[in-house]
Amino acid sequence: MNDRLPRRRVLLGVCGSSSATGVHGLVELLREHIAPQVIVVATPAAVPFLTGFPGPVTGDADWHSGQSPLHVELARSADEFIVCPATANTLAKAALGLADTLLTACILAYPAPVWFAPATNRAMWSNPVVQQHVAVLAARQHRVLEPAPNPSLTDGVNRQGGGNPAGVACAWPDVVAALLRHYIDDLDEKGHPE
């Protein structure tokens, strides 16, 4: 961890995508460049991808364990909130205001813009419904990062047996960390959000 970092806390939402297997690297980058404390909140679909994750993962089981409103506590405690990887399912729930998981309830309870780093295949990303949800989130001042062309587990597979064009996935962890660092530096310099 960088000792010069301000005492920030990042809430990292993780959705059920094969990209979730890279979350450990993102957490390390966030701790090194953004905030000393990163709290990971996973959807039920993300949990299988986080097997062997070296830190605590908060999920729906914790939400339903009888604690006070965990989603409110987590949302209030975070200085920054990023969902990476953000699946089309979670983008839709966030756009529609659905809160059936701890993560989506945190998104609704968070009082500032949330960063979303989508992870979908190219066909899903270009689907008009997904683009409509992205537009709704952007109109609400959330920040949806443009996914980078990256390999997807669904690349090269379709019903006819032919190959799909390159998939898209969430931006590489270093890109996400760099964008957040730039945003935070800008906030510190201006003293207020953009």
pLDDT value of residue 100: 96
Bond prior to 85 in cis (omega within 30° of 0): yes
HSE-up (13 A, CA, CB side) for residue 143: 15
pLDDT value of residue 165: 43
pLDDT value of residue 88: 94
pLDDT value of residue 29: 83
| Cβ proximity of 65 and 54 under 8 Å | no
pLDDT value of residue 119: 85
Greater confidence (164 vs 5) lies with: 5
* Three state DSSP letters for 128-175: HHHHHHHHHHHHCCCEECCCEECCCCCCCCCCCCCCCCCCEECCCHHH
Nearest to 1 by CA among 28, 32, 30: 32
Lowest-confidence region among 33-47, 110-124, 167-181: 167-181
Total Cβ atoms within 10 A of residue 22: 18
pLDDT value of residue 74: 95
Distance between the two ends of the chain, CA-based, in angstroms? 27
Greater confidence (146 vs 62) lies with: 62
Q: Class of 9-190 per CATH?
A: alpha beta
What residues form DSSP beta bridges with 38? 10
**41 band by pLDDT with thresholds 50, 70 and 90:** very high
Greater confidence (188 vs 164) lies with: 188
Greater confidence (17 vs 110) lies with: 110
pLDDT value of residue 65: 73
pLDDT averaged over the chain?
81
pLDDT value of residue 1: 47
Distance CA 49, CA 16 (A): 7
Nearest to 78 by CA among 47, 103, 52, 43: 103
pLDDT value of residue 31: 86
- Flag whether pLDDT at 157 surpasses 70: no
pLDDT value of residue 47: 94
